[in-house]
Chains A and B, each alone.
Chain A
Amino acid sequence: SQTIHQWPATLVQPVGSPLSLECTVEGTSNPNLYWYRQAAGRGLQLLFYSVGIGQISSEVPQNLSASRPQDRQFILSSKKLLLSDSGFYLCAWTVEGEAFFGQGTRLTVV
């Protein structure tokens, strides 16, 4: 069966520090992968999606970047975090008819 792993579960980082969130998928090949952000009291915002290795599409301009170094690995990064980067980050992959989500990372920038 397919599973998605996302870590860490929680993270507290100072302003200006770098960020690396990792997501890996098992049980499938060449998945479509996504990073979403959920800010407090707001819905899900699509940040990045990838249809293959090295192929990244950005939905909104921001302080973040994404990379896909391997078929089932998707990384969300930042060189310098801002306070506004705080939120709940969700990795997801899709197969025809459904999206599957990781358990999320709660990022607090202080």
Chain B
Amino acid sequence: AQSVTQLDSQVPVFEEAPVELRCNYSSSVSVYLFWYVQYPNQGLQLLLKYLSGSTLVKGINGFEAEFNKSQTSFHLRKPSVHISDTAEYFCAVSRYNFNKFYFGSGTKLNVKP
């Protein structure tokens, strides 16, 4: 079975500072990895995904993530955050057939001026 762990429930950061949101997964088989963002009272929007190929994945809004198979991690990074990045971020995994997506518990990013 797959599981996803987001170690930080909340991350406060000042505007224009870099940020890293951590995600670790466990799986006995190969998985695909995703990061989603959720703004208040809205659905989830895909930020980026890793299916295969380069382990460094670039997404929307200046975010990127690196797949590290040996450490079973898929941490999300942004070199300089904006106030508008304040939202909740979810890491997710799916197996090759995409029948199920499993989400982490989420990390609330709070960007302060």
Contact = CB atoms under 8 A, between A and B. Distances in A.
B84 interface: no
Please classify the interface of chain B as helix (H, G, I), strand (E, B), loop, or mixed, using the class held by over half of its residues. Answer: strand
A32 to B, nearest CB: 6
Nearest to B32: A97
Contact of A43 (B42, B90, B99): B90
A101 B44 contact: yes
Contacts of B100: 46, 49
Nearest to A45: B103
Interface residues of A, number: 24
Interface of B: 6, 32, 34, 36, 41-46, 49, 51, 90, 92, 94, 98-106
Interface of A: 6, 32, 34, 36, 42-44, 46, 49, 51, 88, 90, 92, 94-99, 101-104, 106
Given A43-B104, A43-B106, 19 more contacts: A36-B103, A43-B6, A43-B90, A43-B105, A44-B90, A46-B102, A49-B99, A51-B99, A88-B41, A92-B43, A94-B101, A98-B34, A98-B46, A98-B49, A101-B36, A103-B42, A103-B43, A104-B41, A106-B41
